[in-house]
A and B are shown apart, each in its own frame.
Chain A
Amino acid sequence: GENVEQHPSTLSVQEGDSAVIKCTYSDSASNYFPWYKQELGKRPQLIIDIRSNVGEKKDQRIAVTLNKTAKHFSLHITETQPEDSAVYFCAASSPNTGFQKLVFGTGTRLLVSP
């Protein structure tokens, strides 16, 4: 089945710097890649997603890139702010692993220092 690896597990940056979180997936048939943000004590919330027919998607300060050949995708956050501090999860969904199961990475704790 699908396996998603996420790196780094923790990331500390200064306010205003960029942050990049990387994920790799194992199933070449995976076709949907969402990113979730989870603030302390809160529920995960979708922040951006990308489908396999698109190489890059941007939404203000966040962007996701997808390299299907290498089977990896990344979250880019520019001009980081303290409110970006949270745990970020990537995920991949494949039609091969049953009916569109969704497999998550283990999360990246991002700390943005003022």
Chain B
Amino acid sequence: EAQVTQNPRYLITVTGKKLTVTCSQNMNHEYMSWYRQDPGLGLRQIYYSMNVEVTDKGDVPEGYKVSRKEKRNFPLILESPSPNQTSLYFCASSLSTPWREQYFGPGTRLTVT
């Protein structure tokens, strides 16, 4: 079954404690992206990747890091989380540009206290 998976699905953490949210896809997609969703703001792109070792900033990259060492995985790293990073995070992958047939993961709800 074609899918995008994320872990964990729910996470409560404290300010400053480094965390990683994993994302994996089994569709051999080259393009992957991370979004955050906040009420009234829609979905905002954090980082995206066009292929292994190729990443670029989206609209809200501050406070986040990503890596793409393998085609299937695209982890999101928060090295020093802050309360304003409390949000619902989605990973997504796409067959091709410009983001056609984009599939989203189930989401990770992060709370930073």
Contact = CB atoms under 8 A, between A and B. Distances in A.
A21 B48 CA distance: 27
Interface string B84-105: 0000001000000111111111
Interface residues of A, number: 24
A100 to B, nearest CB: 4
A95 B107 CA distance: 27
B50 A106 contact: no
B101 A46 contact: yes
What size tier do the contact residues of chain B reach? 20 to 34
Nearest to B48: A101
Contacts of A45: 104
If over half of A's interface residues share one DSSP class (helix, strand or loop), that class is named, otherwise mixed; here it is strand
Given A43-B104, A44-B90, A45-B104, A95 B42 contact: no
A1 B48 CA distance: 16
Given A32-B98, A46-B101, A107 B42 contact: yes
Nearest to B102: A46
Given A32-B99, A43-B107, A99-B50, 7 more contacts: A34-B102, A44-B104, A99-B97, A104-B44, A104-B45, A105-B42, A107-B42
Interface of B: 33, 35, 40-45, 48, 50, 56-59, 90, 97-107
